[in-house]
Amino acid sequence: MRRGLVLFAALLLGVALAQGDVDPREEAKRQKELLLSTAGILPTELVVMQGEELFHRKGPSGKTMAECDFGLGKGVLEGAAARLPRYFLDTNRVEDLDSRIVTCMTRVQGFKPEEVKRDEVVAVAFYIASKSTGHKIQVRLLFPEERELYALGEKLFWARSGARDVGCATCHVSYVGRRAGVLPYADVLGKDKSWTHWPAYRYSNDQTWTMQDRIRACYGNIAHPQPALYSQPILALELYLAYHANGAVVEEWPAFVR
Ligand code: HEC
């Protein structure tokens, strides 16, 4: 009897382990289909619609975001997000999707910086990113500002710090992970092309994240103070990762992930 119970417990544990082992991509696909069949619409689509409304809302200056240049000319959104981050002459700095939306809201639409709401920026990012589904990532290092930021991103990515002496590469480059005896989570520079997984809706905690949120959360993993949203370290790491994803096709933006 005892023996039977132990066996049963071992069996249950085996099932639990097997469930923890499910390929996260496969599991996300399953969750997505489940949601679609019950709700008929995905949270990503709702946020994209919300972003589209905000895009066409007039700011204090009377202008909508169609007056803004996201890199390919005023109001051109098709494929624009797949080419970010990039250097912008009008601000004289490299901007990613999030920061360019903030620039648009403040410089063109006339919002005060403190009036810019993060959830609105994310919704607009979802909408603009949706116009790059099917496009190839094409990020260049043409301007000295881009090359400098890339170099900073590279430095930050390979740096190790803290009591545990870890950095991004410890968890995210498969050969480093193997050498250190740590399971690699995602090979963010290699075949995974993680860049194209964000912005995304995370069904596990019902959150909408851009790449900025993803990187900031990972800074938490290394017990390192999180750099602020829109700050140089975040932009630098984004440029570094985006450049390594060059040529990858965006399967679906915004993505639907765990
Ligand atoms: C302690 C391990 C660890 C460290 C260190 C770490 N991360 Fe992560 N990272 C994770 C985990 C776990 C995930 C979630 C993996 C998943 O869902 O497949 C993740 C996810 C990511 C993703 C998304 C991958 C994808 O395919 O969607 C990116 C990009 C990323 N991290 C970047 C970074 C950067 C940049 C740093 C350094 C600032 C960093 N990470 C440091 C553990 C780590």
Q: How much distance in Å is there from the Cα of 91 to the middle of ligand 1? A: 30
- pLDDT above 70 coverage of the chain, percent: 88
Mutate to test the pocket of ligand 1, among 137, 166, 171 (most ligand atoms within 8 A of CB): 171
Which token pair is 119? 């959830």
User: What mean pLDDT value characterizes the chain?
Assistant: 89
Cβ(239) – ligand 1 distance below 6 Å: no
User: Ligand 1, atom 31: nearest CA belongs to which residue?
Assistant: 218
Ranges of CATH 1.10.760.10 domains, the chain: 43-130, 144-249
User: Ligand 1, atom 3: nearest CA belongs to which residue?
Assistant: 171
153 labelled catalytic: no
Homologous superfamily, domain 144-249: Cytochrome c-like domain (1.10.760.10)
CATH architecture of residue range(s) 43-130:
Orthogonal Bundle (1.10)
Mutate to test the pocket of ligand 1, among 25, 201, 218, 224 (most ligand atoms within 8 A of CB): 218
Say what the pLDDT of residue 163 is. Answer: 77
Which token pair is 125? 């990012």
Q: How much distance in Å is there from the Cα of 163 to the middle of ligand 1? A: 19
Say what the pLDDT of residue 235 is. Answer: 98
Q: Residue range 44-68: average pLDDT?
A: 98
Distances, alpha carbon 74 to alpha carbons 39, 51, 68, in Å:
36, 18, 5
Higher-confidence position of 133 and 16: 133
Say what the pLDDT of residue 140 is. Answer: 97
198-227 pLDDT, tens per residue? Answer: 999 999 999 999 999 999 999 987 778 899
Cβ(171) – ligand 1 distance below 6 Å: yes
Quickly state the pLDDT bin for 21 (edges 50, 70, 90). Answer: low
The sign of the torsion formed by the CA atoms of 208, 214, 219, 222 equals positive
Q: Answer whether residue 18 shows pLDDT above 90.
A: no
Residue among 46, 116, 141, 218 flagged as catalytic: 218
168 labeled binding residue: yes
258 labeled binding residue: no
Q: Answer whether residue 153 shows pLDDT above 70.
A: yes
